Structure 1
Amino acid sequence: ESMPCRIKYYFHKCVFFTLYLGLESHCDVSKVGVHCYGALDGTVYLRLDIEYNEICLIKDPSGKPIELFKRKNKTNFMNGSLKHRSEFYFNNGTLKIRNIERSDAGEYSSETFNSSGITITSIRFQLSIEGKYPTVKTLIS
């Protein structure tokens, strides 16, 4: 049984649109319990909490922590492989990471501090990396 033309067109347009944008993903990590997804070689936009003076993004906070990004006194510091693959937009608190690698997958912590260096928030989130081309099953579910 075929779908009505309008629904069929909408379905194809949605799948195409999602595939086209599939290499970019947006994730608001200022909220607790977030699981983010990125496509291999794609771009991930992480929205961080910018309410306080200092922001820090740490990878593997429970194991061997690596401070990847820090913003203190309106100055950005990038570490490791993020140094040449990322930009921070302070106006909306977004950290853009380009050319996502499999090694970017893992547990992260987004932390904020007040001007005295006291931790205000510490929010953990997971970043999973998928292949370049998501399957239709992934798009529909």
Structure 2
Amino acid sequence: MEAVFVLVLVVLAAVAHATDMTTCTATQNSSQCSVALCGTLDLQLLTNASGCELLFKKNLTAGPTLIFSLKRNKVTFKRPTEGRLKFFMNNGTFRLTNVERADSGKYFLEIYNSGGARLGTRRVQLDIEGK
């Protein structure tokens, strides 16, 4: 009986953890996304980033700050990530874990081809919900 109770607790914890995941698609020119405080965000920026060069930035009052760049299929994060940030080239998804209030704001993605010609810009408004 005790083993069944422990199994139920493990399943409930897994379900509770899964509900903290938010998936947003930002493959259009302008998007808005809301994510729970302390949750995880999967933000699809492209369907496939292979062969692209990317600059992902956050707009701050002092000016834009670079979050990550992708060049020659190598992702470089420009600030300490504490393991919170990942980018998946195969599906163009940016993952942000343990979301904080400071993550709220306006982000933009500059997309270039391998020759450096600009292909477009995507804008995302990220809102953080909860206490």
Q: Normalising to structure 2: TM-score of the pair?
A: 0.76
Give the number of the structure whose residues are more often strand, by fraction. Answer: 2
Give the number of the structure whose residues are more often helix, by fraction. Answer: 1
CA contact (8 A) 2:53 2:70 kept: yes
Deviations for 1:49-80, whole angstroms, at most 9, x for unmatched residues?
A: 22652122110078510110111101011122
Equivalent positions of 1:12-91 (< 5 A) are 21-49=18-46, 50=49, 52-60=51-59, 64-82=63-81, 84-91=83-90
- Structure 1 residue 82: Cα displacement: 3.5
- 2:106 partner amino acid: E
Aligned length: 115
Unaligned 5+ residue runs, structure 2? Answer: 1-14
Match of 2:124?
A: 125
CA distance in 1, matches of 2:19, 2:110: 28
Alpha-carbon RMSD across the aligned residues, in angstroms, is 2.3
Instruction: Evaluate the alpha carbon distance shift between residue 87 and residue 20 of structure 1 in structure 2; reply closer, same or farther with a 3 A threshold.
Output: closer
Dislocated runs of 4+, deviation >3 Å: 18-22
| Identity in percent | 31
**Secondary structure, counterpart of 1:103 in structure 2:** helix
